[in-house]
Structure formats: structure tokens, C-alpha cells
Chain A
Amino acid sequence: MKKFSPYILPVLGLCLFIAIMFSGKYLKEPLRPSEDVMGFVKTAMQDTVNEKWDNVSIDINNIEKAWKKIVPRIQFSVERDEIYNIGINIARLKGANMTKDKSSILMELNEFMENWDELTK
């Protein structure tokens, strides 16, 4: 046991580092319903297709709130630009929603989904 004890700390350290670098994959999943980003995106898509504009506003608001809860958890294991891209998607969604631009909203939501998938690949 004494022979291996000097190796325990470095090995544990390296394991911890690997865990931090891979944590985003698991931490982007919702821990509570209010963090279910993809659930809100899918709802927003349905509401947009059905042109329920009041609901779309709420959905986009929910997406933004959920995203802001996820970012601090995944920021150590993802690229900065990936986070920025999703932030830009949300800003465009808000703009497109102001003019009730159905096609732009759907485009942004689809791009959001793509960026979400890319987030921790």
C-alpha cells in the first residue's frame, strides 16, 4: 500500500481533470423541469407552427432562462464560441418573434438544436 500511495494523488488529480473536461456532456442535461432547454425549444417549434405567438414569447423566455442556468455548469468543458452561438440564436429568436416572422423563428430554432448538439461533441 505504501508503495502505491505516492501515485494515488496524481492519478486522482488526472481523473478529476478528465471529469471536469467531460462534465459538460452530462451537466447540460436538465436537473429540474425549468432547465429543460430542448423541451422548451420543441414546444416553441410547435407553437410557432401553430402561430400561437403569445405562447412563443413565453417559450423563448423559458429557453433563455433555462440556458442561463445551464451555462455556468458547462462553461469549463465547452468552447466559448459555442456558448456565444447559442446566445446569438436566442437574441435572433427574440427579434424574429417581435415581427412574428414564422420562417425566421423556425430557422433559428433549428440552428439552436444543431448548436445544442454540437455543444459537447
Chain B
Amino acid sequence: MNEGLIVLVRGIISFFSLLIFARILGKQQISQLTFFDYILGITIGSTASTLTTDLTSRAWPHWVGLITWASLSLLLQYITLKSKKASDYLDDVPAVVIMDGKILEDAMRKSKYRLGELLEQLRDKDVFDLTQVAFAVLEKDGQLSVLKKAEYQPVTPKDMKLSVSKVALSSEIIYDGLVIEENLKNIKKDMNWLLGQLKANNISSPSEVFVASFTPPNTLYFDLYKDHMQ
């Protein structure tokens, strides 16, 4: 019996099982996790760790535990996706903690949310003066969304009646010295155009470029491997 080998095999099983379950469970960011999601992650991780190193029991019961937690989580995700009522019941609802500039103590007490936390999260949103706040909503994941009073809102080009160019997504056309021909095709350009642009910028080959991106209608950004910093 080779314990190291057994741990290696069980480690591979739990690693790839976790990877598969994590991919199935979706793309929520850590910052978007609710408290329950957080506990769920810890429990699944802990079960996978036990599966790997606890040789006093077979791998199968731990794996069943892992798949049970992952399946239940998937089921809850599906239910909350399909039904708003179930989503409100299971995930809770956002709580308004400041309305018309007034702090709602009852709502804060219900959410077990302290004044210190409120002030901290307001500062995090660049709000240092409570009088600036019209509404603040405590989201399901514990984040605070803040709507400032109209007089404290930043000025936008629309307010100034300025005309702005249309925003568009940029796409990388050279990545780590390699030309991404698919992206080049997507922006309706070809290799000759790219080489012409490179030549115009005194670059002899794409291999000199770390990254090049194109933003419609006609903006090209280059970053070379040689930075020529003084």
C-alpha cells in the first residue's frame, strides 16, 4: 500500500471533480457571493480536501457528499432563476437603509447591519457626508448601492450638451507578439493594413509588439517589448 500514490490519485479525482462542479455552478464573482454561497464554497472545498487526504475512509462517500452539495446548490440556482418569489425567499431581498437622506434604523436592525459598516461602505463609495445621500440600498451580497442627491451627481456630457463619439469595444490584434487573425478579420482589416500601420509607427515586425489593440472607428494602440524608458 502506497499512501502517497493513493493521495495523488484521490487528489486528482477531487481536483477535477471540483473543477467540473465549479464550472457547472457558474460565473459568480467572489464579491457577488451571498453569505450562504460563501459557506457553500467552504463546505465543498473542505469535503474535497477530506476526500484527498483522509485515507481512513473510502473516497466514494466523500465524493457523494461533494456531488450532493454541488447538486443542491445547482438546484437552488435553477429555482431562484425561474421564480422571483423563491429567489426573494431563499436569497433575501435588497434592503433600503437610507431613504430621502434619512437612515432607516428598523431596516438596518432587520439586516443586522451596523452604523459603522454603513459609514464605511459609504466612504468606500466616496461619500463622506451623509447629507449627500438620497438613497442607499444594502444588496443581497452585502454591497451598498448609493444614489446621491441630484445636486451632488457628477456632470455628464449630456448635461453639458456635448457631442461625444460612439463608444466601442476594442479588440486585440497582436497578443504577445502573435497576430490574432480572427480579430483582424472581425474588424474587417487585413495583414497588409496591419503591416502598414506597424511600418508607420517604425515597427518592423509584429514580434516586437507585446500588445496591439484596435478601437473603432480608427484608434490603434501599441505596446512594444522594448519600453525605451528614460
* A residues adjacent to B (C-beta < 8 A): 10, 13-14, 17-18, 20-22, 71-72, 75-81, 83
Contacts and interface: CB of A to CB of B under 8 A. Distances in A.
A76 B20 contact: no
A22 B60 contact: yes
B59 A76 contact: yes
Interface residues of B, number: 19
B72 interface: no
B26 to A, nearest CB: 15
A21 B9 CA distance: 10
A77 B1 CA distance: 12
A17 B13 contact: yes
Nearest to A81: B56
B55 interface: yes
17 contacts: A10-B23, A13-B16, A13-B20, A14-B17, A17-B16, A17-B63, A20-B9, A20-B13, A20-B59, A21-B58, A21-B60, A71-B1, A72-B1, A77-B58, A80-B55, A80-B56, A83-B1
B20 A10 contact: yes
Q: Which 7 A-B pairs have the closest CB atoms?
A: A80-B55, A21-B60, A10-B20, A17-B13, A21-B59, A76-B9, A75-B1
Contacts of A75: 1-2, 5-6
A76 B6 contact: yes
A80 B1 contact: yes
A65 to B, nearest CB: 16
Contacts of B56: 79-81
A81 to B, nearest CB: 6
B124 interface: no
Given A21-B63, A76-B9, A77-B60, A14 B1 contact: no
Interface of B: 1-3, 5-6, 9-10, 13, 16-17, 20, 23, 55-60, 63
Given A21-B60, A83-B1, 13 more contacts: A10-B23, A13-B16, A17-B13, A17-B16, A20-B13, A21-B13, A22-B60, A71-B1, A75-B6, A77-B59, A78-B58, A79-B57, A80-B6
Nearest to A10: B20
A3 to B, nearest CB: 16
B59 to A, nearest CB: 5
A21 B56 CA distance: 14
Contacts of A78: 58
B20 A14 contact: yes
Nearest to A74: B1
A79 B58 contact: yes
Contacts of B63: 17-18, 21
Nearest to B9: A76
Nearest to A22: B60
B4 to A, nearest CB: 11
Contacts of B60: 21-22, 77
B17 to A, nearest CB: 6
Contacts of A77: 58-60
Contacts of A14: 17, 20
